[in-house]
Structure 1
Amino acid sequence: MTSTSPDAPMPAVPLLGVGGVRHTRLRPTHHAFAYEGFFLLLPMRQLRRQPWPALARNRWAPLAFHDADHGEGEEDSLAWIERVLAQSGVRDATGEIWLQCFPRVWGYAFKPVSFWYAHRDDGALVAIVAEVNNTFGERHGYVLRPGPGASELAWGQTLQADKVFHVSPFCQVAGDYRFRFLRIPAAPGSASSGRLVARIEHHDATGPLLLTSQSGTLFPLTPAVQRRTLWRMPWMTLGVFARIHWQALRLWWARVPVVPHPGRRTTGGPSLSSGTPR
């Protein structure tokens, strides 16, 4: 990523983002934490045309990507996102589709949220799908598109979607999410491929309730980068799962009210909803 413009097409090379996750709850008690972590950023259409030797796909490896962890559990998750985009009226996603997600580490996967970035041929964003998983084995996709008053999607734009999916037992299925995505190109001469930031705020009738972000400096996915990252964070995905439950225990201990699950969905695949910029 050598261009200074975030809308310039990136070289279609799988990337590893090394950074962390931040989470802050504002009410009824202040609760905040931050953890190191890493994620994959994959050019899915390029990978359909030509596999990447350093990416273990749909097979066991210390660090791997499995299509079945996304969408409807198919062998080709890109086919699912292409259907989602078509069903949502997105006709101009003719360029690359990038997937930001946690990998499987030592065979274990837990992906609270993944982001699909759909582009035109000129590199401009045309849609983002936030694919959310909860600990009940359910999945929901928020399709984010330009709405009334906005001609097109852009990096840095604030996007809104009504919350319709149960995630945390300490939050009502009410209010809305505010998404903001930032792509920061690499400085000239940098060894990295830039930086990616995804921010999500959950607002209810009272105002901001949860502030979360996932960010990372991007590096081409090579065996050396994988070894270095795994040596530093060998149990990352298992740690995400354990930390979610540890933080839930702390909220329970602080007597934050528990919200019961509203009931399992009966549909066979992930549910979908649409959001628009504010």
Structure 2
Amino acid sequence: MDSTLHSAQLCFGKVQHTRLRPVQHAFNYGVYFMRLPLRAMAQQAPSNPVLFSQNRFNLLSFWDKDHGDGQQSLISWIDALLQREGITDADGEVWLQAFPRVLGYVFNPVSFWFCHRQDGSLRAVLAEVRNTFGERHCYLLDTGEAMPYGIELTARKIFHVSPFCSVDGSYRFRFMRTSQQQDGKSVERTVARIDHDDAHGPLILTSISGTSHALSNALILRAFFFYPLMTIGVIVKIHWQAFKLWRKRLPFFAKPIPPSSELSK
């Protein structure tokens, strides 16, 4: 990977979603998201572009309280969680991938914490999932050792997300990183795939992908005007797609009692 990519990044890409059964339903949307180096940010206050702020209102902003337990610093929270789960060697950079607040509003269906070792290898990934009922659950993806990007990781589904899916089956995760040339520069492309399988096989295929760029005022303006009020659009599109599924007469599943623990492996 490009060794110069050590600061906050803005990524432009798309979200794709395909439902295979009992009726086919698919959509894709252009989006942008951020990738933030949490250890670097905790050790030294970054020099942010004028149009981006941390824990303050701005055109785009990132608030620590939107992630983790909403109280501790993000690095303290993730380090404590990893320690409790017996992961003691994720002492390198932790990259958090999430949507930013746009004019103060955000909804993150899923955020990813990529936890690395000092040598740069990936040690664990935490998928922080939220639903539209204001609930949150974290899936810790851990093989017990350093793992290459691109391998398949699995977790049993135990958290209610959509009223058109029962809380059963499992998730298959794949995270990929590649370098490519764009306008004469080396940029990083990331892909996060989450596929949901039930007892009959693959049910829903989803992914979020994007190309990373160093955060700048020009890119923030491009993001804001090309995708106006994107984070409000996220919640609107979730409900619009739910309406379309209802029109297709998909079975409806009532929200169960949420899991007692915020974390599963």
TM-score scaled by structure 2? 0.94
Structure 1 pair 126–27 and aligned structure 2 pair: CA distance change class (3 A) = same
Aligned with 1:17 (options 8, 11, 18): 11
Separation in 2, partners of 1:68, 1:116: 15
SS in 1 for 2:207: strand
Give the number of aligned pairs. 262
Alpha-carbon offset, residue 229 of structure 1: 1.3
Map residues 78-89 of structure 1 onto 2, 5 A cutoff: 78-89=75-86
Match of residue 124 from structure 1 = 121
Runs of 4+ that moved beyond 6 A: none
Instruction: Give the counterpart letter for 2:128 in structure 1.
Output: E
Separation in 1, partners of 2:183, 2:224: 26
Match of residue 135 from structure 2 = 138
Instruction: Give the counterpart letter for 2:107 in structure 1.
Output: F
Separation in 2, partners of 1:32, 1:58: 36
Map residues 126-205 of structure 1 onto 2, 5 A cutoff: 126-146=123-143, 152-187=146-181, 190-191=184-185, 193-205=187-199
Deviation by residue 1:217-246 (Cα, 9 ceiling, x = unmatched): 100011111111111112111001000000
Match of residue 243 from structure 1 = 237
Instruction: Give the counterpart letter for 2:208 in structure 1.
Output: Q
Match of residue 271 from structure 1 = 262
Separation in 2, partners of 1:113, 1:73: 16
Separation in 1, partners of 2:60, 2:98: 12
Structure 1, unpaired ranges of 5+:
3-8
Separation in 2, partners of 1:30, 1:10: 43
SS in 1 for 2:129: strand
Aligned with 2:32 (options 35, 38, 42): 38
Structure 1 pair 32–50 and aligned structure 2 pair: CA distance change class (3 A) = same
Structure 1 pair 191–226 and aligned structure 2 pair: CA distance change class (3 A) = farther
Alpha-carbon offset, residue 205 of structure 1: 0.3
Separation in 1, partners of 2:114, 2:177: 11
Instruction: Give the counterpart letter for 1:59 in structure 2.
Output: R
Aligned with 2:106 (options 106, 109, 115): 109
TM-score scaled by structure 1? 0.90
Match of residue 6 from structure 1 = none
Instruction: Give the counterpart letter for 1:202 in structure 2.
Output: H
Match of residue 255 from structure 1 = 249
Separation in 1, partners of 2:229, 2:186: 24
Separation in 2, partners of 1:236, 1:28: 30
Structure 2, unpaired ranges of 5+:
none
Separation in 2, partners of 1:186, 1:254: 40
Map residues 2-81 of structure 1 onto 2, 5 A cutoff: 2=2, 11-52=5-46, 53-54=48-49, 55-74=52-71, 76-81=73-78
